[in-house]
């Protein structure tokens, strides 16, 4: 199973946290392969302007090839790249598991209504607990639940055809 992990990836802390999430999901879900777009690299750089089109295309293809997306929804507003990737996944019927540890509130379950509405599952665990093991356990459960919901929808559509 391919899990596309969409998250802010601009600081060392964000990149390290993304790696912990990816490793934890792979440990807890049999057969899981987590795709980290922060690892997309062309040539010797992760962020040269001449490679931006290739990085963009790699991200779009990564989403399209995923079985499920995990979207980190922290911040005062959801990362714009994550929001765009969620739109691709939603349109393609790829289940999305949103995870928000940010305690700030917004319209629906802590995030913008459109973002919350795109999520098949949404996990909210406030940052105050700082319990990564519990977060990973709960997140893995949400990923499995989202895949089961997606399978049921696919089966229903096939029986109606």
Q: With 80 as the cut, is the pLDDT of residue 53 above it?
A: yes
For residues 40 and 58, the answer to whether their CB atoms sit within 8 Å is yes
pTM score, whole prediction: 0.89
For residues 8 and 82, the answer to whether their CB atoms sit within 8 Å is yes
pLDDT tens readout for residues 70-98 = 999 998 889 999 999 999 999 999 999 99
Task: Identify the residue whose tokens are 């459960």.
Answer: 141
Taking residues 86-113, report their average pLDDT: 86
> Where do runs of H (alpha helix) occur along 67-127?
80-92, 113-118
> Hey, what long-range contacts does 149-155 have (CB within 8 A, 24 or more apart)?
149/95, 149/120, 149/121, 150/68, 150/93, 150/94, 150/95, 150/120, 153/93
Q: With 90 as the cut, is the pLDDT of residue 143 above it?
A: yes
159 membership: H or E segment, kind and range: helix 132-160
Assign domain 2-160 to its CATH architecture.
Answer: 3-Layer(aba) Sandwich (3.40)
């Amino acid at each position: 199973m391919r899990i596309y992990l969409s998250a802010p990836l601009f600081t060392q802390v964000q990149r390290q946290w993304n790696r912990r999430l990816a490793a934890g999901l792979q440990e807890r879900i049999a057969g899981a392969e987590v795709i980290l777009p922060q690892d997309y690299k062309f040539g010797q750089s992760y962020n040269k302007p001449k490679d931006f089109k290739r990085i963009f295309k790699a991200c779009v293809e990564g989403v399209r090839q995923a079985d499920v997306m995990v979207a980190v929804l922290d911040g005062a507003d959801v990362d714009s790249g994550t929001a765009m990737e969620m739109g691709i996944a939603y349109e393609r019927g790829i289940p999305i598991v949103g995870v928000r540890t940010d305690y700030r509130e917004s319209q629906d379950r802590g995030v913008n209504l459109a973002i919350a509405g795109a999520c098949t599952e949404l996990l909210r665990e406030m940052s105050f607990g700082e319990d990564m093991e519990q977060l990973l356990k709960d997140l893995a459960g949400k990923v499995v639940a989202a895949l089961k919901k997606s399978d049921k929808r696919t089966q229903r559509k096939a029986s109606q055809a």
